Chain A
Amino acid sequence: MKSDWLTEHMLDAIDGTLSEADRRRFENALVEDPAARLRFEELSHLADMARQLPSLDEPVDFTAGVMDRIQHINHPWWLRSWYFLIRPHVIRVNLLGALSTAAGAVAAIALGISLFWQIEPSQAPVPVDTPKQYVMHFIYDDPHAKQVYVAGSFNNWQKEQIPLTDSSGNGTWTGVVPMQPGLYEYMFYVDGHWAVDNHALRYKDDGFGRKNAILELGTGNEISI
């Protein structure tokens, strides 16, 4: 009977989750049963060994492999639309582009009205074809960091020009940078040291034993107007 009780509570004892009363009873029972004590010690040791088995490094191209494979998988359009509508967005407005678009819309309406009423259209502004602007969200996770900046080829690698902020205080530093289409390299500058963006999809050796993250804008999902 005592042996059954020991067996029943062996795992809880290994995990250290016995109540205080049960822990005392368990220890007393082990004193009276040397074989059970040996079994308990060996099983505890085995559990510790299993816990300490080293974590394996996944293959370096693991994420890229997954991202390649999901490129052809599309979620239903209505689902994308729904989540797009209910999510907050940061929208960068290109004032010149917006004005041009507005002027174009006014011109189109004026043209429509003039055709309907057979009135000569007035001289409408011609829409200007301006390049797209992108909004890049940079995110860096480090609960111990005190100051985080992002720097790259888009700002001539000026280390302390673009700060990231940890507004929630949970170690997630974020920053938004308006950018033109192009291929950029960047790193984070954290408390006086360069740090790699571990979440980037592509990297390039920087010649100093580190990796610059690669950012390609022009096919991205950022919102532009």
Chain B
Amino acid sequence: MDQTEDSALVEAVLSGDRDMYARLVNRYKRQMYNLAFRMTANSEVARDLAQETFVRAYANLHRYKLEKSFFNWLYTICINLTRNHLEKRHEILGENGDESATWEDANPSAEHRSPETQIIEQQNINGLEAALSALPEDLREAVVLRYIQELPFDTVANSMGVSLSAAKMRVYRGLEKMREVMTAQESFP
């Protein structure tokens, strides 16, 4: 992402050009929505959390330091909102059958693939999501940030407020735990 352009857009918004904020939203909405969805497994909650992220960011835009990464700043807001939500609701992925949504529910474009491909993909995705959902929140967050959101380890560590080695350990323990779950469920492809 172009940090210079982000800063220019933020300045435009702060000078009163509110519509320019739509460009920032469009630029990062997918990452925020996906992060919230992977942490909550609920498309409606994910939408609300991701939208709230952008609203909070707008309200506090004057606190954002232009020389820093806007993406990282948004990320911090989103992950904090998600943590708070999970703490409040005591949500654990997969346990709340009424609220949880599958990847297919949240991604209607999957319908365009062939039925065979969809079945195989869906089995793999379901197995992975079930294993992810079995993780404690701190390990899940570490795995989501590192391998689903593909953030570098130092950013994962910063986001989680832990040392680099602690972040690596959480990711490793998360992967190990997922491997155990998928092996037990015989869902390892």
B83 within 8 A of A: no
Contact check, B50 vs A58: say whether CB atoms are below 8 A apart. Answer: yes
Contact check, A11 vs B21: say whether CB atoms are below 8 A apart. Answer: no
A10 nearest in chain B by CB position: B172
Contact check, A84 vs B16: say whether CB atoms are below 8 A apart. Answer: yes
Q: How far is the CB of B137 from chain A (nearest CB, A)?
A: 16
The size class of the interface chain A forms with chain B is 35 or more
B186 within 8 A of A: no
Residues of A46-68 contacting chain B, CB below 8 A: 46-47, 49-51, 53-59, 62-63, 65-67
Q: How far is the CB of B77 from chain A (nearest CB, A)?
A: 13
A193 within 8 A of B: no
Complex interface: chain B residues within 8 A of A2 (CB): none
Contact check, B128 vs A87: say whether CB atoms are below 8 A apart. Answer: no
Contact check, A62 vs B33: say whether CB atoms are below 8 A apart. Answer: yes
Residues of A129-158 contacting chain B, CB below 8 A: 139
Not counting A45-B188, A87-B15, a sample of 17 additional A-B residue pairs whose C-beta atoms are within 8 angstroms of each other reads A11-B168, A42-B183, A49-B128, A53-B103, A55-B34, A56-B106, A58-B30, A58-B33, A65-B51, A66-B22, A66-B58, A67-B18, A75-B62, A80-B16, A87-B12, A199-B22, A201-B22
Interface residues of A, dominant DSSP: helix
Given contacts A47-B147, A49-B128, A50-B147, contact A73 B15 (CB under 8 A): no
Chain A interface residues toward B at CB < 8 A:
7, 10-11, 39, 42-43, 45-47, 49-51, 53-59, 62-63, 65-67, 69-71, 73, 75-76, 79-80, 83-84, 86-87, 139, 170, 172, 198-199, 201, 220-221
Contact check, A46 vs B148: say whether CB atoms are below 8 A apart. Answer: no
Residues of B106-160 contacting chain A, CB below 8 A: 106-110, 121, 124-125, 128, 132, 143, 147-148, 150
B11 within 8 A of A: yes
Complex CA gap A17/B19 in Å reads 42
Contact check, B50 vs A70: say whether CB atoms are below 8 A apart. Answer: no
Complex CA gap A201/B132 in Å reads 36
Q: How far is the CB of B48 from chain A (nearest CB, A)?
A: 9
Contact check, A221 vs B125: say whether CB atoms are below 8 A apart. Answer: no
